[in-house]
Amino acid sequence: MKVLMTGNEAIVRGAYEAGLTIASAYPGTPSTEILENLVNYKDDIYCEWAPNEKVALEVAIGASIAGARSMAAMKHVGVNVAADPLFTFAYTGVTGGCVLVSADDPGMHSSQNEQDNRNYATAARILMLEPSDSQEAKDFMMLGLELSERFDTPVMIRMTTRVCHSKSMVEIGTRVEKPLIPYERKIAKYVATPANGKVLRKQLIDRLKRMEKYSNTAPINKAEYNDTKIGVISAGIAYQYAREVFGEEASYLKLGMTFPMPMDLITEFAGKVEKLYVIEEMDPYMENQIKMAGIQCIGKEIIPEMDELNTDIVRKAVFGTDTGVLQSEKVAVGRPPVLCAGCPHRGFFYALRKKKNIIITGDIGCYTLGSAAPLSAMDTCFCMGGSISAGHGAAMALKKGGSDKKVVAVIGDSTFFHSGVNSLMDVVYNKGNSVSVILDNRITAMTGHQDNPGTGYTLMGESTREVDIPMLCRAIGIKDENIYTVNPLLLDETGKVLDEALSKDEPAVIIARYPCVLKAFTDQDKEEFDLRPKKCYIDQEKCTKCKVCVKTGCPAIFSGEQITIDQGPCTGCTVCMQVCKFDAIREVE
């Protein structure tokens, strides 16, 4: 039976059919749906959200060593976090097959950078497969687990946004159970001391040779000979663009396994074609290896080295044909993402932006939108967990340099559990004085509402113990009197707490606790917070059109001839009501 599936769904199907039993991940676009779908097979596969990607990969590694087929999934930048175990796992190898799915995001649809994770395969020396549609995503997942066991190596499946999120037809099969491989203690293999490491390092070189030999004969690295005037080497989604642009005439070498590269096969192919193109998205990853082997080819001289490719770009680059497109002189106004109506982050940032003489180090999540106008209350954001540690560094620099500026670090609950906890330890341990704000909206909102260690539920839908953030801060060493919990939708209170925390010359933590308006409220949420549906409206007789309410950036407020509140999206959070000086905004009775 054939079914239309996204690449992510196909990865899941492949894992299921190949008898995988353990999976761990941390959410991140475009990889998130992998575990969200895998959990549909929870009777057969144990699935979990880890607090971060390093933990997720280590869980998969442990499962493999214990004899199960396992996987970890993450977005490209997640592999940076997981890189430490990955590089040594390449030395030790596996027991049960283990696959790391890396979902790259060329064009940065929803990421902070567009790094090309194929470079990790070469750097860590792990076998890499690159599917270019959903069928391949499924097939390569199954093959990946098999190759992992055959070559005793972790396997990376490198996806990109268009492979993850595009749908194409997939043939469905049945699951083959893989019983646990009986455990044997193998100290020399799995304890990476320098002495063992040196032996493992040599074995890795041998394994590389065996893997390259396989790559040269692997059925997923296939040549398609047509006219040999033009030859094209391509992989991943770029192959689809190339295949369409060069059409039936050209010859192709389509690579499914891109580390180690099948250099013999490439040499043979290059020898048979007159003009050789290498079409790949982002880095000249294949091209550099091909050129290093002394083979002439055309690649990044014409193909852009950044952003996504498509047929359009490839056609223009290769044939110089610009079809000329329809154009209008009118300009469509953007639809920048904004904090939702009723978002608890809005109240907090509105209170924060009133504070002067501070640097606000931010982090990654919905709350990064607090950096956008009209709130504009954030100075930095670069990686998950960086706000508190960069904030500490900034605070120390300011102090040492004689500045009286203070630092407020702003971080979400999921991001705090991801790696912000370590940063907070640094602040306390090294006697910093920054204020760390944990925006605890009771969920991982940005990536589509995943549970996390603070929500009380697991990915498999079971209720569980939750992290007590104030108690955790206390344990780290923040003084009791410097830990504040506040409802960020209450502006005066939030402002006061900020003043108090900023007045201290020692580490302080503010926990802004209120659930995301879009999340499915748990019984605990309903008990703790007043979540009855409410609405606000503007009394036009009292409204002076001062537009202070508009400056909250709420998407339910319309500023035209009159200022009005759209009753649809309004949640009655009352932030606008609190900022109105003319008592013109009321709650609907």
Positions in the binding site for ligand TPP (CB under 6 A): 26-28, 53, 75, 77-78, 81, 364-367, 384, 412-415, 439, 441, 443-447
- Of 200 and 343, the one with the shorter C-beta distance to ligand TPP is 343
Q: Does 553 bind other proteins (CB under 8 A)?
A: yes
| Shorter beta-carbon distance to ligand TPP: residue 28 or 262 | 28
Residue 27 binding: pick among ligand TPP, other proteins, none (C-beta 5-8 Å cut-off by kind): ligand TPP
Residue 308 vs 440, nearer CB to ligand TPP: 440
Measured CA to CA, the distance from residue 558 to residue 550 in angstroms comes to: 8
- Applying CB under 8 A, among 40, 84, 169, 202 the residue interacting with other proteins is 169
Alpha helices in 467-522 (DSSP H): 469-476, 491-503
Cβ atoms of 411 and 384 closer than 8 Å: no
Compute the least distance from the CB of residue 506 to ligand TPP, in Å: 25
Q: Judging by beta carbons within 10 Å of its beta carbon (0-12, 13-18, 19+), is residue 530 exposed, middle or buried? A: exposed
Least distance (Å) between residue 429 CB and other proteins? 37
Tell me the DSSP string of 280-346. Answer: -SSS-HHHHHHHHTT---BSTTTS-SSS---HHHHHHHHH---------SS-PPP----PPTT-HHH
| Shorter beta-carbon distance to other proteins: residue 315 or 496 | 315
The closest alpha carbon to 575, from 341, 245, 326, 390, belongs to 341
Spatial distance between the Cα atoms of 391 and 411, rounded to a whole number of angstroms:
11
- Binding of residue 1 to other proteins (CB under 8 A): no
Instruction: Report how far Cα 23 is from the mean position of its chain's Cα atoms.
Output: 17
Residues 305-324 that bind other proteins (CB under 8 A): 310-313, 315, 323-324
> At 21, which amino acid appears?
T
DSSP β-bridge partners for residue 500: none
Q: CB-wise, 165 or 210, nearer to other proteins?
A: 165
Name residues whose C-beta falls within 8 Å of residue 417's C-beta, 6 or more positions apart in sequence: 51, 52, 452, 453, 454, 467
Q: How far is the CB of 3 from other proteins (least distance, A)?
A: 9
List the x/- string, 122-161, binding to other proteins by CB under 8 A.
-----------x----------------------------
* Minimum gap (Å) between residue 244 Cβ and other proteins: 4
Q: Nearest approach, Cβ of 24 to ligand TPP (angstroms)?
A: 14
> 114 or 413: whose CB is closer to ligand TPP?
413
Tell me how far, at minimum, the Cβ of 168 lies from other proteins, in Å: 5
CB of 408 to ligand TPP, least distance (A): 16
Selected from 192, 490, 550, 579, the binder of other proteins by CB under 8 A is 550
CB of 369 to ligand TPP, least distance (A): 9
Instruction: Reduce the DSSP state of residue 275 to 3 states and report it.
Output: strand
Among 174, 193, 296, 327, binds other proteins (CB under 8 A): 327
573 part of the interface to other proteins, by CB under 8 A: no
288 binds, among other proteins, ligand TPP, none (CB under 5 to 8 A by kind): none
Binding residue for other proteins, selected from 1, 332, 401, 541, defined by CB under 8 A: 332
Between CA 281 and CA 289, with CA 286 as vertex, the angle to 5 degrees is 150
* CB of 40 vs other proteins, minimal distance in Å: 18
- As measured in angstroms, the least distance from the Cβ of 340 to other proteins is 6
**Pick 119 or 217: Cβ nearer ligand TPP:** 119
Residue 418 beta carbon to ligand TPP: minimum distance, rounded to whole angstroms = 7
To which residue do tokens 């990889």 refer? Answer: 31
Closest-CB residue for ligand TPP? 412
**Binding partner at 553 among ligand TPP, other proteins, none, C-beta below 5 to 8 Å by kind:** other proteins
The dihedral of CA 140, 130, 309, 75: what is its sign?
positive
74 vs 232, beta carbon nearer ligand TPP:
74
Cα–Cα–Cα angle for 348, 353, 356, rounded to 5 degrees:
130
Pick the binder of other proteins from 334, 402, 461, 533 (CB under 8 A): 334
Radius of gyration of the chain (CA): 27
Mapping DSSP to helix (H, G, I), strand (E, B) and coil, where does residue 372 land? coil
Nearer Cβ to ligand TPP, position 233 or 517?
517
Segment 107-113 long-range contacts (CB within 8 Å, at least 24 positions apart):
107/161, 107/307, 107/308, 109/29, 109/30, 109/161, 110/29, 110/30, 111/29, 111/75, 111/76, 111/77, 112/77, 112/364, 112/381, 112/382, 112/383, 113/76, 113/77
In the list other proteins, ligand TPP, none, the entry touching 384 (Cβ below 5 to 8 angstroms by class) is ligand TPP
Residues within window 31-60 making contact with other proteins, judged by CB under 8 A:
none
Can you tell me whether residue 524 is helix, strand or coil?
helix
Task: Provide, rounded to whole angstroms, the least separation between the CB of residue 385 and ligand TPP.
Answer: 8
Q: Is 338 in the site for other proteins (CB under 8 A)?
A: yes
Residue 179 site contact among other proteins, ligand TPP, none (CB < 5 to 8 Å, cut-off depends on kind): none
Distance CA 8, CA 11 (A): 5
Site for other proteins in 271-310 (CB under 8 A): 310
4 close to 167: Cβ distance less than 8 angstroms: yes
Beta bridge partners of 565: 557
| Adjacent-strand bridge partners of 230 | 275
Residue with tokens 């991940």: 25
Q: By CB under 8 A, name the one of 37, 153, 166, 482 that touches other proteins.
A: 166
Size of the site for other proteins (CB under 8 A): 55
Q: Measured from the CB atom, is 182 or 324 closer to other proteins?
A: 324
CA gap 55, 548 in Å, rounded = 45
Residue 376 binds other proteins, judged by CB under 8 A: no
* Dist. CA 194–CA 135, nearest whole Å: 42
C-beta atoms surrounding 498 within 10 Å = 24
Among residues 243, 406, 442, 513, the one that binds other proteins under rule CB under 8 A: 243
Please report, as ranges, the residues that interact with other proteins according to CB under 8 A. 4, 29, 109-110, 133, 162, 165-169, 237, 239-241, 243-244, 247-248, 310-313, 315, 323-340, 366, 369, 373-374, 518, 547, 550, 553, 555, 557-560
